[in-house]
Amino acid sequence: MDLPDIDASAWAELETAAVDPQSGFRYLNLCSVDTEKRPQARMIVLRAADRSARRLEFHTDTRSPKWLELSATPHVTVLGFSAESRLQLRLQGKVELHGPGSGAAGTAWDRLPARTRMTYAGGPPGDERAFETIGVAAPADEAEGKARFGLLIFRASTLDWFQLRQQDNRRALFSYDETGALSSRRWVNP
């Protein structure tokens, strides 16, 4: 495969992962820096991918620490590994935050299944929870969840593609311009 084909296949895998829960890139690591410049990382579900815009979408609770971190510093790394294709994808770029009340968050919310909406109905992520409430279904109001729901739109500026092989690992770097067009590509030593 030549470099443009490798880039296209990496994005095709991401598009597949957004609709296939079994895909290796369904759960990605979203890495940010906090307000004290310390690295932070967490797994996140890939909700949508668009190869032409080099865009990924994620959902989160706007009460979570990451929302504040990303508001202050939108530069992130998105890291994934698929055991099936033995590929590591390391993307760098920026996130746009679409909070409750925004059209984009409203549209994403409307598409969510009821059980997923309920994940936004509990207390603030990271706050202490009384042991007695664990496993007990609390009465939940969907509208409350909507008021906490946030959409993160990530736009990649670079992709570091790494294929783990028995011998001769391969690695290539790609850059994208603001429109998402491939602006540079090269093989590098793994």
Ligand X SMILES: Cc1cc2nc3c(=O)[nH]c(=O)nc-3n(C[C@H](O)[C@H](O)[C@H](O)COP(=O)(O)O)c2cc1C
Interface ranges with ligand X (CB under 6 A) = 27, 40, 42-45, 58-61, 64-66, 125-126
Smallest separation (angstroms) from ligand X to the CB of 42 = 3
Shortest Cβ 117–ligand X spacing (Å): 13
- Pick the closer one to ligand X by CB: 38 or 165: 38
Question: Cβ of residue 137: shortest distance to ligand X, in angstroms?
Answer: 20
**Measured from the CB atom, is 111 or 165 closer to ligand X?**
111
In terms of CB distance, is 7 or 69 closer to ligand X? 69
For residues 54 and 66, which CB has a smaller minimum distance to ligand X in the complex?
66
Residue for token digits 């084909």? 5
Minimum distance from residue 58 beta carbon to ligand X (Å): 6
